[in-house]
């Protein structure tokens, strides 16, 4: 996207991180810039994955509360007779 303007791709990284990048990039036999691209992409992918996971968990929690409320509304003790003969009728839908 910014390949024509190299200045937009420059930023300052602490020397301690650069030292670690140098070691890892050499171990992987990569250029620093390729290593940085992969690291950025990995970080972005992880953030997306965790965002999706958190969204799913939140959705399940909301549905659990909705299901509990619906169950409480639809399943009051007065709705069902207490004698044993009625179990068959309830099971049959009668």
Ordered mean pLDDT values, 10 residues apiece, the chain (94 residues): 60 90 92 91 91 87 88 66 57 56
Which 3-state string (H, E, C) describes the chain?
CCCCCHHHHCCCCCHHHHHHHHHHHHHHCCCHHHHHHHHHHHHHHHHHHHHHHHHHHHHHHHHHHHHHHHHHHHCCHHHCCCCCCHHHHHHHCC
**The pLDDT value given to residue 34:** 92
Q: Do residues 31 and 21 make contact, with C-beta atoms less than 8 angstroms apart?
A: no
What is the chain's length? 94
What is the pLDDT at residue 86? 56
């Amino acid at each position: 996207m910014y390949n024509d303007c190299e200045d937009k791709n420059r930023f300052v990284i602490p020397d301690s991180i650069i030292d670690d990048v140098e070691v890892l990039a050499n171990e992987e036999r990569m250029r620093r810039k390729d290593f940085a691209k992969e690291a950025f992409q990995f970080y972005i992918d992880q953030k997306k994955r965790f965002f999706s996971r958190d969204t799913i968990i939140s959705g399940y929690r909301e549905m659990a509360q909705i299901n509990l409320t619906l169950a409480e509304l639809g399943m009051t003790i007065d709705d069902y007779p207490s004698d044993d003969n009625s179990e068959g009728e309830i099971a049959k839908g009668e």
